[in-house]
């Protein structure tokens, strides 16, 4: 078992700033720890609905804390998340469904672009405050990630297909089965069982559980 790599799945949605933090930290750890990191694009809206969870910022005191918390974590982990009070409203008004279907389509067709594409979506939404629900912005993100406009256009057409919709739905349901109620949800498969870690501030704990 020592030789085998621990499979670590990261369920994420680009509308979640904590998902970005967790994503970047795990991207760094995958070169240090003996893990096989798997990116699992899922839909946060679906998880919230299925579990009856509410956006954390709907509690004023928590929103106040989150502003400071995300800024501190962004600085500590050197991830360019920009956040201000108005962003909470912006998140509630933005559907990430199209973006997550687009990311799912790339995962199904050209997975080598999954990491850079996901990162570009976060940069656009969280560093540049752009609306990632608009098709032209989705195409712009794809261009930044190194995809040709021809391929990007094909992927955009794929997001309305049953294959892509079902894949995203299945991944989201899988996260819920593991016990996810929000994002990021990190699942480490260790000693024959799945261990769920919620959030981007439990990654040292994850390391300790899997013997890193």
Contacts of 125 (CB under 8 A, 6+ apart): 14, 15, 94, 132
- Closest-CA residue to 74 (of 153, 19, 132, 14): 19
Q: What is the pLDDT of residue 3?
A: 60
Residue 178 in domain: yes
- Residue 166's pLDDT band, with cuts at 50, 70 and 90, is very high
84 is catalytic: no
Question: What CA–CA distance (Å, rounded) separates 212 from 204?
Answer: 9
Residue 75 in domain: yes
pTM: 0.94
Report which of residues 65 and 4 the model is more confident about: 65
Q: Percent of the chain scored above 70 by pLDDT?
A: 99
The CA-to-CA distance between both ends of the chain, in Å, stands at 14
User: Any idea what the CATH number is for the domain that residue 19 is in?
Assistant: 3.40.30.10
Report which of residues 204 and 89 the model is more confident about: 204
Residue 183 in domain: yes
73-129 residue pLDDT tens:
999 999 999 988 888 888 877 889 999 999 999 999 999 999 999 999 999 999 998
Residue 1 in domain: no
Domain that holds residue 105: 6-210
Count of domains in the chain? 1
From residue 130, give the alpha-carbon distance in Å to each of 98, 126, 133, 157, 165: 14, 8, 9, 21, 24
Catalytic option among 16, 96, 118, 200: 16
């Amino acid at each position: 078992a020592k030789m085998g790599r621990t499979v670590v799945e990261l369920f994420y949605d680009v509308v979640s700033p904590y998902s970005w933090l967790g994503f970047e930290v795990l991207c760094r750890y995958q070169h240090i720890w003996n893990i096989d990191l798997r990116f699992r694009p899922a839909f946060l809206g679906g998880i919230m609905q299925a579990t009856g969870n509410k956006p954390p910022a709907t509690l004023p005191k928590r929103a106040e804390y989150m502003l400071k918390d995300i800024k501190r974590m962004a600085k500590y982990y050197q991830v360019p998340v920009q956040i201000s009070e108005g962003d909470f409203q912006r998140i509630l008004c933005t559907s990430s469904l199209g973006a997550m279907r687009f990311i799912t389509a790339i995962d199904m067709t050209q997975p080598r672009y999954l990491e850079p594409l996901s990162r570009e979506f976060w940069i656009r939404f969280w560093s540049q405050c752009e609306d990632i629900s608009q098709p032209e912005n989705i195409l712009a993100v794809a261009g930044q990630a190194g995809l040709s406009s021809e391929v990007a256009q094909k992927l955009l057409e794929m997001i309305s297909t049953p294959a892509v919709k079902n894949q995203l739905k299945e991944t989201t349901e899988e996260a819920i089965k593991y016990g996810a109620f929000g994002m990021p949800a990190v699942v480490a498969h260790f000693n024959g069982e799945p261990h769920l870690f919620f959030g981007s501030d439990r990654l040292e704990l994850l390391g300790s559980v899997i013997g890193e």
